[in-house]
């Protein structure tokens, strides 16, 4: 085998009901479009002297590494609020997991590699467009500093898939800290399989949150502490991507990982003209996953996770009483059988009540964690080293103005750096009000000027100008993967031209740099270029 993967296959050691063994279905004419050599090196994947043809063979699924254990993961999920108890990897196959150079376990998964036992009548394939979109978005988000899945390879299959029309097929190789989702826990909770649920939770602790084992020895609430960690990471993740104007588009419970990574870049996009209620997904007719709704949806999903983990929380509470119960039971062995049964019932009810109260408190904390994370991100975007009293009102007043004026979100914050000084030139920022999608009026213009003047004064009092500007440059990207640019890359690639894709990828992986070669990728779309809806690849 020309490509060597040091697979550990730890997920494959979990109970058999966690997955289904499956082999990729070969494609006819695999052609390598992109291989992420630096990521492969970090994953300890050996590719010395390998050819593009050999890479295409491996990453299309036409040849399976000798030490891989391919499998499709089982999970359920709430899709747009509606529970589907039987989902699972319908077009994705986990080749295996391996340790990277930082001794962190990572999954390597093929998307579009053919049918699995969870395909539910689907073809198990992926069109080229969504696969290329995911490659760009994965690497852009990573470069922006957002926890995310990564792109390892993209292969054109040489075959056609049928969606709304006939499209070129592709296989995308995704790398993740893991592909364990809220829906994975739901799958076993719905089936009352508490043994598998516990094995899964222990795997997540060992894999993602080993520190939970130490704190749990003191509190006796291992699984509740795990839930706290997942909740904290998810609250911070959503705040991070919202500070960048990102809309996930399909925040179903099967699209929320417990590792705290962004996953499944289907109908997602970055906002151009700011609009709190903006929706990109073609299937989100009610705006459930609009930009402004994302924090609440995150909490809703975590509530479903809490419901699924309730038996584990009860185990925490019951185990805390187990030692004292054993002593008491021994002392009353002859007469306490009936009392013990009654006591066990009462203890179970008490444990359930306590577990619900504990989980509810964690869910209540979510909103505060998210708000603090969002405010911290906004402070950095505006040059402040910390959040102080009055800043929340300042941040909210600005987002109100951005929503009213519909100015370009990314350009506004990037250009704000030019007027950080009290005598700074406002022209570049105010020019954004003349853009085709912007709303301009004398009152709005005056309000924006007043807000900027107030911000300039606060910045001058609290920060050195150079430090503030450096902080802003590191927090406000010049380049994001704008929807119209991604669509240009997809259109060109479908005709066999990958140059646009390569140029865009180069630009979005250097988002905070002012590079003259990448200026075209900084520009928002003109009306004719706007892409108002994005689509899922399934």
Is 202 catalytic? The answer is: no
Give the torsion sign (CA, 390, 391, 395, 396). Answer: negative
Residue with tokens 């406002």: 426
Query: Over 90: is that where the pLDDT of 532 sits?
Result: no
The answer to whether 234 and 304 are in contact (CB under 8 A) is no
Record the tokens describing residue 394, joined without a space: 């300042």
Please give the Cα distance from 307 to 317 (Å, whole number): 16
- Residue 283: predicted pLDDT: 82
Residue 407 pLDDT > 50, yes or no?
A: yes
How distant is the alpha carbon of residue 307 from its chain centre? 21
pLDDT at site 323: 43
Over residues 410-423, the pLDDT tens digits come to: 999 999 999 999 88
Within 8 A by CB and 6+ apart from 450, the residues are: none
**Ranges 16-30, 128-142, 417-431, 522-536: which has the least confidence:** 522-536
Residue range 248-256: mean pLDDT, rounded: 95
Q: How much is the pLDDT for 467?
A: 97
Question: Could you give the CA distance from residue 185 to residue 174 in angstroms, rounded to a whole number?
Answer: 22
Residues 42 and 98: beta-carbon distance below 8 Å: no
**Residue 89 DSSP class:** -
Give yes or no for residue 63 having a pLDDT over 60.
yes
Residue 491 has pLDDT above 90, yes or no: yes
User: Looking at residue 534, what is its pLDDT?
Assistant: 67
- Per the CB < 8 A criterion, the answer to whether 83 and 181 are in contact is no
pLDDT digits (tens, 9 = 90+) for 301-346: 999 999 999 999 998 876 655 444 544 554 455 555 666 666 667 7
pLDDT at site 451:
97
User: Which 3 state secondary structure label does DSSP give 402?
Assistant: helix
The share of the chain scoring above pLDDT 70, in percent, equals 93
At residue 31, does pLDDT exceed 80?
Answer: yes
The yes-or-no verdict on residue 280 having pLDDT over 90 is no
List alpha helices for 463-509, DSSP H: 465-475, 483-494, 499-508
Radius of gyration in angstroms for the set of CA atoms belonging to the chain, rounded to a whole number: 25
pLDDT in tens, 146-177: 999 999 999 999 999 988 889 999 999 999 99
pLDDT at 25 over 90: yes
Mean pLDDT of 428-456: 94
Q: What is the pLDDT of residue 192?
A: 96
Q: Match 């006796």 to its residue by tokens.
A: 220
Tens digits of residue pLDDT in 223-251 = 999 999 999 999 999 999 999 999 999 99
What six digits make up the tokens of 307? Answer: 């419901």
Mean of all residue pLDDT scores within the chain: 92
* End-to-end Cα distance, the chain: 31
| pLDDT for residue 535 is more than 70 | no
Residue among 87, 118, 124, 114 nearest 20 (CA): 118
pLDDT at 327: 41
Kindly report the three-state secondary structure assignment for every residue of 375-389: HHHHHHHCCCCCCCC
The Cα–Cα gap between 443 and 289 comes to 31
Report the range of poorest mean pLDDT among 169-178, 214-223, 353-362, 423-432.
214-223
Q: How confident is the model over 365-390, as pLDDT tens digits?
A: 999 999 999 999 999 999 999 999 99
Per-residue confidence (pLDDT) for residue 433, from 0 to 100: 94
pLDDT at site 331: 45
Q: What angle do CA 479, 484, 489 make, to 5 degrees?
A: 90
Task: Say if residues 12 and 179 touch (Cβ distance below 8 Å).
Answer: no
pLDDT at 254: 96
Q: Which two tokens stand for residue 40?
A: 């492969």
* Active-site residue, from 123, 254, 272, 284: 254
The predicted pLDDT at position 530 comes to 81
- Secondary structure E strands in 177-224: none
Asked if the model's pLDDT at residue 264 lies above 80, the reply is: yes
Distance CA(127)–CA(118), nearest Å, equals: 19
Question: CB 461: neighbour CB atoms within 10 A?
Answer: 7
Long-range CB contact pairs, 522-526, < 8 A, 24+: 522/411, 522/414, 522/478, 522/479, 524/272, 524/273, 524/408, 524/410, 524/411, 524/435, 524/437, 524/482, 525/272, 525/482, 525/483, 525/484, 526/436
Q: At CB < 8 A and 24+ separation, what contacts does 54-57 make?
A: 54/2, 54/3, 55/3, 55/153, 55/155, 56/30, 56/31, 56/32, 56/155, 57/30
The pLDDT value given to residue 537? 53
């Amino acid at each position: 085998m020309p490509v060597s993967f040091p697979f550990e296959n730890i997920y494959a050691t979990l109970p058999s009901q966690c997955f289904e063994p499956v082999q990729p279905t070969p494609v006819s004419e695999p052609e390598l479009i992109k291989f992420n050599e630096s990521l492969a090196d970090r994953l300890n994947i050996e590719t010395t002297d390998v050819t593009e043809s050999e890479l295409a063979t491996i990453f299309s699924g036409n040849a399976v590494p000798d030490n891989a254990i391919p499998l499709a993961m089982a999970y359920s999920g709430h899709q747009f609020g509606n529970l589907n108890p039987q989902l699972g990897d319908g077009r994705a196959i986990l080749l295996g997991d391996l340790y990277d150079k930082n001794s962190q376990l990572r999954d390597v998964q093929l998307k579009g590699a053919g049918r699995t036992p969870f395909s539910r009548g689907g073809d198990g394939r992926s069109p080229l467009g969504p696969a290329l979109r995911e490659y760009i978005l994965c690497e852009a988000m990573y470069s922006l500093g957002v926890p995310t899945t990564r792109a390892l390879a993209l292969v054109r299959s040489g075959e056609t898939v049928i969606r709304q029309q006939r499209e070129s097929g592709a296989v995308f190789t995704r790398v993740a800290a893991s592909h364990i989702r809220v829906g994975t826990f739901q799958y076993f909770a719905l089936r009352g399989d508490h043994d598998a649920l516990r094995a899964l939770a222990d795997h997540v602790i060992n894999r993602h949150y080993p520190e939970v084992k130490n704190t749990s020895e003191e509190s006796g609430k291992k699984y509740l502490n795990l839930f706290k960690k997942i909740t904290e990471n998810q609250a911070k993740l959503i705040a991070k991507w919202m500070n960048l104007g990102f809309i996930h588009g399909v925040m179903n419970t099967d699209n929320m990982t417990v590792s705290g990574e962004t996953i499944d870049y289907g109908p997602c996009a970055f906002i151009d003209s700011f609009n709190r209620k903006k929706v990109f997904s073609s299937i989100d007719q009610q705006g459930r996953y609009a930009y402004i709704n994302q924090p609440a949806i995150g909490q809703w999903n975590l509530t479903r996770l809490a419901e699924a983990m309730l038996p584990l929380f009860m185990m925490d509470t019951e185990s805390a009483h187990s030692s004292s119960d054993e002593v008491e039971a021994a002392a009353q062995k002859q007469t306490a059988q009936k009392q013990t049964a009654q006591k066990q019932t009462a203890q179970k009810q008490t444990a359930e009540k306590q577990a619900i109260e504990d989980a509810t408190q964690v869910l209540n904390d979510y909103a505060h964690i998210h708000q603090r994370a969002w405010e911290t991100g906004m402070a950095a975007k505006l040059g402040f080293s910390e959040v102080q009293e009055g800043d929340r009102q300042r941040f909210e007043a600005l987002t109100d103005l951005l929503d009213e004026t519909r100015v370009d979100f990314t350009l506004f914050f990037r250009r704000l750096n030019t007027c950080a000084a009290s005598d700074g030139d406002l022209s570049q920022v105010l020019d954004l009000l003349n853009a085709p999608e912007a709303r301009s009026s004398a009152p709005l213009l005056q309000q924006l000027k007043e807000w900027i003047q107030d911000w300039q004064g606060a910045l001058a009092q609290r920060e050195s100008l150079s430090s503030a500007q450096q902080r802003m440059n590191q927090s406000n990207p010049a380049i994001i993967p704008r929807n119209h640019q991604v669509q240009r890359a997809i259109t060109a690639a479908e005709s066999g031209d990958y140059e646009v894709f390569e140029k865009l990828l180069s630009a979005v992986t250097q988002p905070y740099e002012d590079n003259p070669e990448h200026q075209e990728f900084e520009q928002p779309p003109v009306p004719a270029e706007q892409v108002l809806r994005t689509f899922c690849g399934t």
